[in-house]
Structure 1
Amino acid sequence: MTFKKTSMALIASALLATTLSARDQIKIVGSSTVYPFSSSVAEEFGATTKFPTPVVESTGTGGGMKLFCAGVDLNTPDITNASRRMKDKEFKMCEENGVTDITEALIGFDGIAIAQSASVKSFNVTKEQLALAVAEEVPSKDGKSLVKNPYKKWSDIDATLPDREIVVYGPPKSSGTRDSFEELVMQHVFEKMPVYTDLFKADEKANKKYKAYSVIRTDGAYVESGENDNLIVQKLTKNDAALGIFGYSFLEENKDKVVGITVDNIAPTAETISSGKYPVARSMYFYIKNQHASEVPALKEYTNLFMSEKMIGTDGILTELGLVTLTDDVRAAARTKVMNSEKLTAEQLKH
């Protein structure tokens, strides 16, 4: 009899613990670029369902991945937003910590705006000029070696550029926007320059960094400005000489204060980003921890709402915040993945 009572007590205790461990409120972390979109969906979700408004934190893409991949405990996030695709090493980190059932949600496109105060005359910059402005090491005058970046003004790089001090407010290393900028601008430019690639070939082990060079200067010309892109907007309004790097959505939200300069003579607009003409554009995602679905009943409803036409469709709410929509067929395929909780594999990340 005592054994029966003890067993029943243990079962009751376990059931109570399970009930207490479940939660109604979704926890979301990740990209500062995706943050406005995710927050808008969260507000709509809180207003139109029986569940509380999800908590959305802007931690940067890299920071969000670390939190998301830390484990399956309910103290860890249910979703992480990302302004780039999950990296192989992040997928492995998730696996090592037991996060083995993840769904990838592609929501749309975003351009990386190179912006300045609206009160200053705009100019055009090439991707090469932009890369040379922020790199730690640049080619010497004879092009045969790399030297510490000597450029202080844009006109030092090219006489046709403004006689303005190089000051670039940009995202920190934990940011997906920073990752995308390094890949789409710096690596794209420097992988075509023999002065970088020859160094790698000459001593692969010693010069590994030159294979895909993306080391940003630390002498004050590039100023890391945190994960809050609105702070960069504020800094641009106070410094007419400066440029800022952030997601196109923030340019849309603040077009009375800042303007995007053209890159390779193409302005950042919804049309140029969706068509692929704008040279600094990328896809945006969020990642779902399916192992939380049974304990966080709101999770499925929230993700379905996010992927709905109401939110990411061509006339969806998020387009008003600067989301550049996917084509109908790509959007439908992305929605199906989420609705079916399709499990992400390491192989898929390679394509």
Structure 2
Amino acid sequence: MNKLLGATAALAMLAAADSAYAARDYVWAAGSSTVFPFSTRVAENYAKKTGKKSPKVESLGTGGGIKMFCGGMGEKYPDIANASRPMKKSEFQACQKAGVKDIVELKIGFDGIVVAMDKKTPDFNFKLEHLYLGLADQTLRGGQLGKNSFKTWNEVNSGLPKTRILAYGPPPTSGTRDAWVELAIENGASKLPPLAKLKDSDEKAFKAKVSPMRGDGAWIDAGENDNAVVGTIQKTPNALGVFGYSFLEQNANTIKAASINGVKPTVATIANGTYPISRSLFIYVKKSQIGVTPGLKEFVNEFTSDAATGRGGYLQSRGLIPLPPQQHDANKAKAKTLPVMAAPKS
């Protein structure tokens, strides 16, 4: 009798464990606000084509999405992390520690980070070092590194408009913020000889000094809703907004973008890398959830299909910059074979 009760209890535990993985009957993706509109469009098309329940897509920022994704396996955690930067080594290690060991990395296209303003605002032609000098918490002034005291853009450089420095941008949890700091702020700081010397001698100290954004009201963390930033700069005279290119394209009738190093953000300049603040976009998939979460395989295939992310695909009309054809074909094949990613180097 005791043996029978023991066997019954063991079977019940196994059933409970199985149900923890299989109870959810829809795909769940969470993460980047930049990837969010692309992911929701794929979800809509997937649901129409398959008749399955529409996937749940959440905009939490890249860091927030990966943290949730790496929390563990089963129905309580997303199947997919949307990301507007590569997964970090520390995030990968957190995944491994929580039992998420079979991650597949898929690049879905490119995006540019734009510095935008209302169409009535004067035109800006920034150099990367201007963005660093105007928006970083500590900057060089008179050869000394200290708290940022620039009030107007023409104080930073006489060729810039005489308007107050005010920018709304992504918060620290956002992949857009990570890419912005690396591609615009740090690269801008490294154009200045004293900081370039510091970077060469002690990169960690360099990042600690130049990376924090202003906290005196000149830079405002505007949350994960990039559409809200678009609305804010339309209502706030001379304010700048920092967000993904797709939001510029969707609102091109009311806002415009600054040139960076003499280059305007366009599909062509982002794809070929001549626009300085451009980046790759990714989705991360739990391979072991394929066949467990209903529709996950089909959703991943839809995301990497010619119809979605290929040249002329429906995501291009939403502002995604497609991969070159050869890379797209390789990515499409990768979505079918699902090779597990190696640990990131940094």
**TM-score above 0.5, yes or no:** yes
Deviations 1:294-326 (A, max 9, x none): 320311110001000000010100000001111
Q: Which amino acid aligns with 1:28?
A: A
Aligned equivalents of 1:155 and 1:177: distance in 2? 26
SS at match of 1:174: coil
Match of 1:159 in 2: 158
1:344 aligns with 2:341: yes
Aligned equivalents of 2:317 and 2:198: distance in 1? 47
1:301 corresponds, among 298, 303, 311, to 298
Aligned equivalents of 2:21 and 2:336: distance in 1? 25
Match of 2:275 in 1: 278
Deviations 1:250-293 (A, max 9, x none): 11111122111111111111111111111110000010011222
Alpha-carbon contact 1:41-1:311 (below 8 Å) kept: yes
Aligned equivalents of 1:236 and 1:18: distance in 2? 49
How many pairs were matched up? 344
Q: Which amino acid aligns with 1:253?
A: Q
Aligned equivalents of 2:204 and 2:9: distance in 1? 60
Alpha-carbon contact 1:70-1:94 (below 8 Å) kept: yes
Deviations 1:37-61 (A, max 9, x none): 0000011111111320000000000
Tell me which moved more, 149-158 or 9-18: 9-18
SS at match of 1:259: strand
Unpaired segments ≥5 residues, structure 2: none
Match of 1:70 in 2: 71
Deviation of the 1:72 alpha carbon = 1.1
Alpha-carbon contact 2:83-2:283 (below 8 Å) kept: yes
C-alpha spacing 1:51/1:107, structure 2 compared with 1 (3 Å): same
1:209 aligns with 2:209: no
Task: Please show how residues 315-326 of structure 1 align to structure 2 within 5 Å.
Answer: 315-326=312-323
Match of 1:177 in 2: 176
C-alpha spacing 1:223/1:303, structure 2 compared with 1 (3 Å): same
Q: Which amino acid aligns with 2:137?
A: E
Match of 2:86 in 1: 85
Task: Please show how residues 177-326 of structure 1 align to structure 2 within 5 Å.
Answer: 177-198=176-197, 208-211=204-207, 213-326=210-323
C-alpha spacing 1:92/1:222, structure 2 compared with 1 (3 Å): same
Aligned equivalents of 1:146 and 1:136: distance in 2? 10
Deviation of the 1:5 alpha carbon = 7.7
Deviation of the 1:240 alpha carbon = 2.2
Alpha-carbon contact 2:31-2:65 (below 8 Å) kept: yes
Q: Which amino acid aligns with 1:285?
A: F
Unpaired segments ≥5 residues, structure 1: none
Deviation of the 1:333 alpha carbon = 1.2
Alpha-carbon contact 1:236-1:242 (below 8 Å) kept: yes
Deviation of the 1:75 alpha carbon = 0.4
Match of 2:52 in 1: 51
Alpha-carbon contact 1:116-1:259 (below 8 Å) kept: yes
Deviation of the 1:208 alpha carbon = 3.7
Aligned equivalents of 2:17 and 2:89: distance in 1? 35
Deviations 1:47-97 (A, max 9, x none): 111320000000000111110111113201100100011111111111111
Aligned equivalents of 2:109 and 2:173: distance in 1? 21
SS at match of 1:77: coil
Deviation of the 1:247 alpha carbon = 0.2
C-alpha spacing 1:3/1:250, structure 2 compared with 1 (3 Å): same
Match of 1:114 in 2: 115
Deviation of the 1:125 alpha carbon = 1.1
Tell me which moved more, 222-231 or 264-273: 264-273
Deviation of the 1:194 alpha carbon = 3.8
Aligned equivalents of 1:4 and 1:158: distance in 2? 82
Alpha-carbon contact 1:191-1:211 (below 8 Å) kept: no
Query: TM-score scaled by structure 2?
Result: 0.93
C-alpha spacing 1:12/1:94, structure 2 compared with 1 (3 Å): closer
Q: Which amino acid aligns with 2:332?
A: R
Query: TM-score scaled by structure 1?
Result: 0.92
